[in-house]
Chain A
Amino acid sequence: MANRGKQKLNLTIMVLLSAYLILPLGLTFLYSLFQEWTSMLPTGFTLRYYVDLFQDPGFYLPILRTLIISTVPVLLCTAITILAMYVIVVHHPKWQKYMQIFCTIPYSLQGVILAISILALYSGLPLPFSDRIAMLVCTYCILILPYIYRGIQNSLNAINARQLIEAAMLLGYKPLAAYLRVVVPNLLSGITVSFLLSVSLLFGDFVVVNIIGGSYYPTAQMYLYKMMFRSGQQTSAMIVILFALTLLISAGVLVLQQRNKKSVAHKQEVADGFHTI
């Protein structure tokens, strides 16, 4: 079959697409390193934009806020969902389909609709409902719920939670104890992937934090937006830094995915062995 020609064509497609995708990124990176770019080539190589950023105390706060607001909702949502899954897995497996419906609705709510509907409902109400930060955290919880739920559900399927619970109960554990002491620890490694995925999702969010957080909680993305109108080069530098942070998180996801594949296989063996007692 015309293999050589096909391979060449596919390589061309992949190279072209890669170039198209990397171009803006690469350009931004270059832009952050030069003072001027008014003609064909940039002039005045300098690292000062990065230095300025790192030396500016006002830079670290938004980043810190972003990091906090990206992780706290994920932890909260994970804890709440794991607890809720206890009831489903051990007591009412038939309720799983309802769980799935509620956890998939946020997909279609996307950012803007969720944000404004929550703001509209709670901004007029008394505290604690109208507290912007609380609103933000809870909105984020719903935003990432589909990903967290899917990660937990896949993990539960992979480790065959039912078998583990049965085996533990046969050994005398009460249901809740069986769940918390046997299933959950095995879950944790499996959900790290969706955990980190959610963190990077929240890290890059602009729409929700702009609408709900506003000036009450300026995060890195909003700081970036303001900077766009001040200095192009500085904005580029900040974009590069933020992107590097996101890459670090994604790299973490990949590494854990590799490790996860081995540990899930191992856990399945343990569950099988357990069950034959």
Chain B
Amino acid sequence: MLNEQALASANQSSIQTLQRFNGFRAKRRTYLLALLPFIVLIITYELAPLMTMVIRSFLTPKTGEFTFANYAAIFQKKLYRDAVFNSLSLSLFSAGIGIVIAFFGAKAIYESTLKRRNTFMSILNMTSNFAGVPLAFSYIILLGNAGVLIHLGRHFGISFLENYNLYSFSGLVLVYVYFQIPLGTMLMVPAFQGLKQEWREAVSLLGGGSVRYWFKVGLPVLLPSLLGTFSVLFSNAVAAYATAYALLGGNFSLLPIRISEQFVGDVLQRKEFGSALAVMLMVLMVGVTILSNWLLKRAGHQRSTYGK
């Protein structure tokens, strides 16, 4: 179809530039137009909102002066102090419980036959979609005031069940743990692939058992993935909105809900304060990531028994 000449000249210029592929240099820069929609999208809906929010958090409403007052208010008012504290503890607890369960779940997958592994992973996949409003509702009919398990407790005289209060901190942890399990387990599964069978066998031959293997070799090797997954679970929990909203509305002070309250709803809009709260949320997320990285570095310089 293409004639010889066209082919030859195309060959000529193409081969030259493809020697070291730093990208095909066209004479006119019109190709950059293809990047335009993407850049527009990123700037308008990712970078601009983010930057304006951070800037706004340092401004006084109405006057626009630079101030730390918004951040101070977070810690001065009990409502918002509680929000930070509650979000932090709820997320730490649920992520902590979640990572432990995820470890044993992923370990079970790692050590199981193909069929069991696939079945379990399909169940995890399926239930990872179950979150937010539907999840909250399911727990209400399970453990709410007229919940099925409450009835069961009453019937069998199990007072713990009978008197359980879902609309409390522990109730929230319970529901949050539910959606941490599939996410955490699925994130940990690949990490176990990095454990070599030889290490397990070597420990065994040197006289050690399962427990020693996991404490001395398995867990240390998995530590980066464990901490990384913990960070993801933490971020997931601290920013979770739908589940808490559906379960407790505004009755329990949590950061995401307090944040949205500043921008939507009947209460007076307080954009600057809300932005400060949002930045606070990001700081919590970034903080945990930095902390886990630091912990990793420390674990890297393990103290050796030599030289003591």
CB–CB A170/B11 < 8 A? yes
Query: Does any Cβ of B come within 8 Å of A139's Cβ?
Result: yes
Does A51 sit at the interface, judged by CB under 8 A? Answer: no
- Determine the distance from Cα of A84 to Cα of B31 in the docked complex, in whole angstroms: 10
Answer whether residue B93 sits at the interface, using C-beta atoms and an 8 A cutoff: no
Whether the pair B41, A116 counts as a contact (CB closer than 8 A) is no
The 8 A CB mask of B127-152 against A (1 = contact, 0 = none) is: 10111111101111110001010011
Contacts of A59 in B (CB 8 A): none
Q: Which of A198-252 contact B (CB under 8 A)?
A: 200, 204-207, 210-211, 214, 221, 224-225, 228, 232, 235-236, 239, 242-243, 246-247, 250
**Contact yes or no, A116 B260, CB < 8 A:** yes
A64 adjacent to chain B (CB < 8 Å)? no
Number of chain A interface residues as a range: 35 or more
Does B15 sit within 8 A of A, measured CB to CB? yes
| B23 in contact with A90 (CB, 8 Å) | yes
A29-42 vs B: 1/0 string, CB under 8 Å? 00100000111100
Shortest A38–chain B CB gap in Å is: 7
What residues on A are CB-neighbors of B69 within 8 Å?
Answer: none
B35 within 8 A of A: yes
Q: A265 interface residue, CB < 8 Å from B?
A: no
Give the contacting residue for A28; candidates B45, B141, B152; CB below 8 A: B141
The answer to whether B204 touches A38, judged by C-beta atoms less than 8 angstroms apart, is no
Contact assessment for B111 and A7 in the assembled complex, using a CB-CB cutoff below 8 Å:
yes
- Asked if B79 is at the interface of the complex by the 8 Å CB criterion, the answer is no
Chain A interface main SS type: helix
B286 within 8 A of A: yes
> In chain B between 56 and 103, which residues have their CB closer than 8 angstroms to a CB of chain A?
56, 101
| Contact, CB under 8 Å: A17 / B131 | no
Given A106-B46, A142-B46, check contact A224 B239 (CB 8 Å): no
Mask: chain A, 72-102; 1 = CB below 8 Å from B; 0 = not: 0000010011011011001111100000001
Instruction: Give the complex CA separation of A118 and B166 in angstroms.
Output: 34
- Contact of A255 with B by CB under 8 A: no
Residue A141 interfacial (CB < 8 Å):
yes
Chain A residues within 8 Å of B185, by CB = 17
The reply on A270 being an interface residue by CB < 8 A is no
Whether B26 pairs with A120 at a CB distance below 8 angstroms is no
Q: Which of A3-42 contact B (CB under 8 A)?
A: 6-7, 9-11, 13-14, 17-18, 20-25, 27-28, 31, 37-40
State which residues 1-49 of B face A: CB under 8 Å.
2, 6-7, 10-11, 14-15, 18, 21-26, 31-32, 34-35, 37-39, 41-42, 44-49
B131 / chain A contacts, CB cutoff of 8 Å: 204
Bound-state Cα–Cα, A204 to B130, Å: 9
CB distance from B123 to the nearest CB of A (A): 5
Are A14 and B25 closer than 8 Å at their CB atoms? no
Least CB distance from A148 to B in Å reads 11
User: Which listed residue, A94, A112, A165, touches B239 by the CB 8 Å rule?
Assistant: A112
Point out the residues of chain B lying under 8 angstroms from A13, CB to CB: 104-105, 108
Query: Is B155 engaged at the interface, CB distance under 8 Å to the other chain?
Result: yes
The answer to whether residues A169 and B130 also contact, given A24-B142, A206-B241 and a CB cut-off of 8 A, is no
Contact segment of B214-222, B270-278, B290-298 = B270-278
Q: Verify B135–A24 contact, CB threshold 8 A.
A: yes
Q: In this assembly, does A119 line the interface, its C-beta being within 8 Å of a C-beta of chain B?
A: yes
B32 neighbours in A (Cβ, 8 Å): 87
Does A108 belong to the interface (CB within 8 Å)? Answer: yes
| Bound: A140/B104 CA distance, A | 35
Question: Given A112-B241, A116-B262, A207-B260, list of 9 further CB < 8 A pairs?
Answer: A17-B101, A21-B181, A22-B127, A27-B138, A93-B21, A120-B49, A171-B7, A211-B260, A236-B141
Across chains A and B, which 10 residue pairs bring their CB atoms closest together, nearest first?
A: A84-B38, A24-B138, A117-B49, A206-B242, A110-B239, A10-B108, A207-B241, A117-B53, A172-B10, A21-B127
